[in-house]
Amino acid sequence: MQVPFVDIRAQYQAVKTEILDAVNAVLEESVFVGGPRIKAFENAFGSLYGARNVVAVGNGTDAIYIALKMLGIGPGDEVITTAMSWISTSETITQTGATPVFVDVVPDTCTIDPGKIEEKITGKTKAILPVHLYGHMADMKKISALCRHHNLFLVEDCAQAHFSSHDNILAGMSGAAGTFSFYPSKNLGAFGDAGAIITADDDLARRMRMFANHGALVKHEHHMEGINSRLDTLQAAILQVKLRYIKQWTERRIEHANQYREQLSSVKKIRFPMVLPGYVHTYHLYVIQCAERDRLKKYLDDHGIQTAIHYPTALPNLPAYRHLGNSPSDFPVASRLQGEILSLPMYPELEKSQIDYVCERIHAFFKE
């Protein structure tokens, strides 16, 4: 049996006619940038999410950059973020001219350790940028309290956490802004690059919308210099179709996660993704921790099971951040986990029988 890590085509097949209708409608209208379909998607996403403002942008990386930049973050500032994420989280901090300050993670959820944030706050700190990695939220109660106490902006990177929640508060709703990616393999995925920012602050929303469109809300009325980071109309139409299914697709991810956990619970050498009390994990990724990670990965690969590593090098240990003078021992948890994490196949269309097979092979590996 072959088990791919993700299967984007399977999702397309499931909603093909609706997608083709939407794409066809856009082609017939031939409005490819802007137009009412952008607003329609923003409204649909906003009402499903309960977000007051949605600003659709070109991708999830720009979403972070635009939010930080329009909060006034720039040269001389520091932004505190997690040692474990995709590089977009930290490179966007640098893009504003500010400096990323990394904090180690908690081993249970691989999210930023709130107990290690305060020691990194200086007179230059302007914001905290937590990442709800893999689909489990960071501890927003503690992080929000720190932001209030130290008068810092809170921007949540929700690229992996559409509809994740803690005590019924959704990812992206606790701070100044929440940023999303609709990269094709994300829980809500376009057919190309796409992203959005949510915020309760109308003025921030207006400035972000302006900045993403060359500093203009109305053509030729440039109130500032900006960038070109707009959501394509085709992607908006596709995303609006997929939005109808996001709840049921998320349910499927949770069912798959439960199946993995039930069938693997007797394997003592694996640590499973934790779901802390009150949290809803949306399993963008199903990441186990295992000391024999590399051997297990090779074994599964030899048996037709694709896995992945998110991510093989913790951010502060990347060559891109050598200039910051960090050492792996400054981030003991993230530096250990980079050698132990393994992402198992996870996508809504995964079959029960495929998960049976993955679990069977994992049991076999630990018996050999």
Phi, psi of 149, rounded to the nearest 5 degrees: -65, -40
| Residue 157 in the binding site for ligand PLP (CB under 6 A) | yes
Give the tokens for residue 210. Answer: 């302006």
At its nearest, how many Å lie between ligand PLP and the CB of residue 303?
28
Binding to ligand PLP (CB under 6 A): which residues in 74-93? 85-86, 88-89
| Position among 11, 59, 174, 335 found at the interface with ligand PLP (CB under 6 A) | 59
At its nearest, how many Å lie between ligand PLP and the CB of residue 37?
19
Alpha helices in 110-201 (DSSP H): 140-150
For tokens 């921030």, the residue is 204
Binding footprint of ligand PLP, residue count (CB under 6 A): 15
131 vs 346 by CB, closer to ligand PLP:
131
At its nearest, how many Å lie between ligand PLP and the CB of residue 176?
17
Exposed/middle/buried for 184, CB within 10 Å: 0-12, 13-18, 19+?
A: middle
At its nearest, how many Å lie between ligand PLP and the CB of residue 211?
16
> Strand locations in 83-232, DSSP E?
99-103, 125-129, 153-157, 165-166, 169-170, 177-181, 195-199
CA atoms lying within 13 Å on the CB side of residue 321: 20
183 vs 357 by CB, closer to ligand PLP:
183
| Residue 335 in the binding site for ligand PLP (CB under 6 A) | no
- Four-CA torsion 248, 251, 253, 255, nearest 10 degrees: -130
| Position among 11, 53, 61, 229 found at the interface with ligand PLP (CB under 6 A) | 61
| Position among 183, 249, 311, 365 found at the interface with ligand PLP (CB under 6 A) | 183
| Residue 41 in the binding site for ligand PLP (CB under 6 A) | no
Exposed/middle/buried for 151, CB within 10 Å: 0-12, 13-18, 19+?
A: exposed
Question: Which range in 71-79, 105-113, 153-161, 271-279 contacts ligand PLP by CB under 6 A?
Answer: 153-161
| Residue 181 in the binding site for ligand PLP (CB under 6 A) | yes
Nearest Cα residue to 301 out of 312, 291, 293, 313: 293
| Residue 283 in the binding site for ligand PLP (CB under 6 A) | no
SS3 for 202-220 is: HHHHHHHHHHCECCECCCC
Q: Is the dihedral of CA 38, 42, 47, 49 positive or negative?
A: positive
54, 45 in Cβ contact below 8 A? Answer: yes
| Position among 7, 77, 78, 193 found at the interface with ligand PLP (CB under 6 A) | 193
| Position among 22, 67, 110, 131 found at the interface with ligand PLP (CB under 6 A) | 131
53 vs 89 by CB, closer to ligand PLP:
89
Tell me the residue number closest to ligand PLP, measured at CB.
60
At its nearest, how many Å lie between ligand PLP and the CB of residue 42?
17
| Position among 6, 19, 103, 159 found at the interface with ligand PLP (CB under 6 A) | 159
42 vs 193 by CB, closer to ligand PLP:
193
Q: How far apart are CA 158 and CA 365, in angstroms?
A: 34
Q: How far apart are CA 325 and CA 187, in angstroms?
A: 35
137, 111 in Cβ contact below 8 A? Answer: yes
At its nearest, how many Å lie between ligand PLP and the CB of residue 81?
10
228, 93 in Cβ contact below 8 A? Answer: no
139 vs 354 by CB, closer to ligand PLP:
139
Query: Which residues in this chain contact ligand PLP in the complex, by CB under 6 A?
Result: 59-61, 85-86, 88-89, 131, 157, 159-160, 181, 183, 193, 195
